Amino acid sequence: MGRVVAVAATRPSFVKEAINTRWGVILAGVLGFCVPLMAAVLPEERADALYHSYSGGGVTINGPSILARKTLGKKVSVWGNYYVDSITSASIDVITTASQYTEERTEYGFGVDYLQDTSTLSLAFSNSGENDFVADAVHFSISQDMFGDLTTVSLGYSRGFDDITATGNDGFERKANRQNFKLGISQILTKSFLMELNFETISDEGYLNNPYRSVRYLSGGSYAYQGEVYPNTRTSHAAALRAVYYLPYRAAIKAEYRLFTDTWGIQANTIEAGYVHPFADDWIIEFTYRYYTQTGANFYSDLFPNINAQNYLARDKELSTFTDSTYGVSTSYLFAKKGWRFIDKGSANISYRRILFDYKDFRDLRVQGYAPGTEPLYNFSADVLQLYVSLWY
């Protein structure tokens, strides 16, 4: 929708891919799949309305998100989610190989949780659509409390079905299928110390690259472009350990480590630390630092030596070697703590993150006057803002 020059436009392939994995995350939070410590009770009845804004690297994405959950009887909880990304992209890829474009992506999700003694069964469906990409998915999970409710084990399975088309190429239709396998273990270690361990394997099969994106190769002292070619399969494994500790003066410190590897040769490490501090009865402030590093995919190159240099070709910067660092702060104001009309309590929240991306093998082609392969390396920063209101009822 609204794409200025749609045919040649490029965009991050991982935006597409993330559509499906995003639903895994939503489910982790919304369904309680990764909520072992709360698994034996139904999630709280609440509604959230969020405005989000991302701005960085020539890309602006904003829009609303609404999430509501309602309990039916004593054993059933249902939820619904509506989410929009309004995208204006003049990223470095778009500038160097195409023209700025705008488009909109809309997601819908709904699900149901069923509580039986110390088990919770969850089922959910999701749909994400834009003018050239549709993703449907179904999710199932079960969690079980055990050992005096000190431990909760969760298992999850998802299937995703993507339909990919290309604007300006009427005959182009491709499909991709995805499967997610999840295992979560949560453990109360002491009366002030929680820990959780999550594993997830994701298996993709089908058309996994971006129909608009190109790689560059050396050609007569300069360089030229050809389309990307990705493998038709990808399997990834991720393991994450998280801990949160309650400090003596009512504050909390958090820590997280995640290890990632996949069959494309990407290996990644993520560390994150946070500090949560309530003050003046009605306020909570949280500081976050996050560091991420990854190696590039085996078939990634910023500059290939010739056309069709190898079977698989990629120049998506998300597949290159890079690091990023995040500095974040968020504040919550709690209101109506004793209830007001139909609500039990509410919160107004603002969250800001600044992310610094530093690429080790992706060069800035906007800079002129350099021989191919000697251009300066690319980097950029992004501002991520969230404003949202939550009501419990």
- Window 263-302: residues binding another protein (CB under 8 A): 264, 266, 268, 270, 276, 278, 284, 292, 294, 297
> Going residue by residue from 20 to 59, which x/- string records binding to another protein, judged by CB under 8 A?
-xx-xxxxxxx-xxxxxxx-xx------x-x-x-x-----
Q: Which of 3, 9, 10, 67 binds another protein (CB under 8 A)?
A: 67
Least distance CB 30 / another protein (angstroms): 5
Q: Is 66 or 309 the residue whose CB approaches another protein more closely?
A: 66
Work out the number of other CB atoms within 10 angstroms of the CB of residue 318.
20
Residue 14 as a binder of another protein (CB under 8 A): the answer is yes
- By CB under 8 A, which span of 95-103, 190-198, 212-220, 336-344 interacts with another protein? 190-198
Q: Write out the two tokens for 128.
A: 């994400």
- Residue whose C-alpha is closest to residue 306's, from 209, 368, 220: 220
Among positions 147-186, residues that touch another protein (CB under 8 A) are: 147-152, 180, 182, 184, 186
DSSP secondary structure code for residue 247 in this structure: E
Residue 74 as a binder of another protein (CB under 8 A): the answer is no
Q: Write out the two tokens for 292.
A: 């991420």
CA separation for the pair 326, 357 (Å, rounded): 9
Residue 133 as a binder of another protein (CB under 8 A): the answer is no
Work out the number of other CB atoms within 10 angstroms of the CB of residue 296.
24
Least distance CB 12 / another protein (angstroms): 6
Residue 105 as a binder of another protein (CB under 8 A): the answer is no
- By CB under 8 A, which span of 129-137, 164-172, 214-222, 345-353 interacts with another protein? 345-353
Classified as helix, coil or strand, 284 is strand
Work out the number of other CB atoms within 10 angstroms of the CB of residue 226.
16
Residue 391 as a binder of another protein (CB under 8 A): the answer is no
Residues in CB range of 369: below 8 A, 6 or more apart: none
Classified as helix, coil or strand, 50 is strand
R_g of the chain, CA atoms, integer Å: 22
> Going residue by residue from 305 to 334, which x/- string records binding to another protein, judged by CB under 8 A?
-------------xx----x-----x-x--
Residue 190 as a binder of another protein (CB under 8 A): the answer is yes
Q: Write out the two tokens for 28.
A: 């982790």
Classified as helix, coil or strand, 312 is coil
Residue 214 as a binder of another protein (CB under 8 A): the answer is no
Q: Is 97 or 235 the residue whose CB approaches another protein more closely?
A: 235
Work out the number of other CB atoms within 10 angstroms of the CB of residue 82.
15
Residue 341 as a binder of another protein (CB under 8 A): the answer is no
